[in-house]
Structure 1
């Protein structure tokens, strides 16, 4: 099992990022890694840049980047192969195509969203914007979005990463893609990623100490010993990776 908290936390940490101007990027290409410096309106971001280098077939740069932001967060959270699996097949910065990937896998819903869903918005003609759900209550759905503004209305080309909220029945919500978080996480001895950090945090929450390295995201000997002890204590077959049964008992 993969926790949606990993991708949500990565996305929330990006709040406040501004897209960059072409002139600032020409002077210093590393400006894309600053949250605030070089702000502009030219769709130049680290999300688009890195995803284009990774998957140029369907990720343009510079280009409208709301979907690149979501895909980047999944990639940083779960790695290349697992993030594509969660996103139903591939990375794609065209929101219409991204929504269709979920529909093709029968993972498209139009009501009852939950944290970790990818939200899609529509205008009068098509799906035009996307973000990530981080919280839901009886009245509102709360999102973190790229290429928007901090106003709680649909803004499909606003230039920043912002937290937003909408009425659960907001007319511009087209629907939600639900990643399959039930697939086994890429989390085994030797890995170094955000999902390992989450595993370490869950082990420590259950009382299994990692005194030397803590939750450092590196699945080394200390983490392996703690995991094996957890498996032994819970009568789980010993393994070099965190199995589905193990995740179920950790969460």
Structure 2
């Protein structure tokens, strides 16, 4: 008899849901909603950020943008420019950095893939400086490696300290790299100033 009473009590208790179970269900809905929002937000941010190189500082200077790209390969830059296959991409890199800052759209810098076109733009816009000046961060530095009066390469001045210019250049050993030169070095062709 006692056994029968225990069995009935067990059966009754099994049918009833403990009150804590209802609380857990009510609390789970907001938690599931919050998790879903977080997951979709992360996916949205990942989709927006896909394939644009490393993290680019928002509203940064061109030197900050260039610095954020150190170590990157060229595909991001030459494909952004519109090329279907690899090209010499130092000018594409400089143009890409300028575009990230909004300088191309604002007419402060050219979109160029040929170094000489960049020089011509800065000269015609009266923003050209000769090679013997002490440059400032953010200036575009053009090079003539073999000193034949033809521009061979371009980069971005990151800083200038104690007579040394520190640059960030694309297509330097097929990477974005930091390099340094003495102020007035004879391989420097001149500078474009972004205003």
User: Is this a same-fold pair by TM over 0.5?
Assistant: yes
Of 117, 120, 126, which aligns to 1:97?
A: 117
**CA gap 1:99/1:138 in 2 versus in 1, 3 angstroms:** same
Q: Could you tell me which residue of structure 2 aligns to residue 35 of structure 1?
A: none
Write 1 or 2 for the structure with the bigger share of helix: 2
CA contact (8 A) 1:60 1:93 kept: no
1:72: how far off? 0.3
SS in 1 for 2:77: helix
Figure out how many residues of one structure are paired with residues of the other and give that number. 133
The residue that corresponds to 2:183 in the other structure is 168
Does residue 77 (structure 1) correspond to residue 92 (structure 2)? The answer is no
Gaps of 5+ in 2: 1-58
Alignment of 1:179 with 2:170, yes or no, is no
TM-score by length of 2: 0.63
SS of aligned partner of 1:72 = helix
Specify the structure having the higher radius of gyration (Cα). Answer: 2
CA deviation map 1:92-147 (0-9, x unaligned): 11001111110111111121211110000003321110000010123111100000
Tell me what 2:128 maps to: 108
Q: Following superposition, which runs of at least 4 residues in structure 1 exceed 6 angstroms of deviation?
A: none
* Offset at residue 61 of structure 1 (A): 4.5
Deviations 1:51-79 (A, max 9, x none): 21xxxxxx685310000001001111216
- SS for the counterpart of 2:73 is coil
Is 1:134 equivalent to 2:164 in the alignment? no
Match of 1:8 in 2: 63
Secondary structure of the residue that 2:167 maps to in structure 1? strand
**Hey, what's the Cα distance between the residues in 1 that align with 2:158 and 2:60?**
8
TM-score under structure 1 length normalisation: 0.50
- Answer whether contact 1:138 1:168 (CA < 8 A) is retained: no
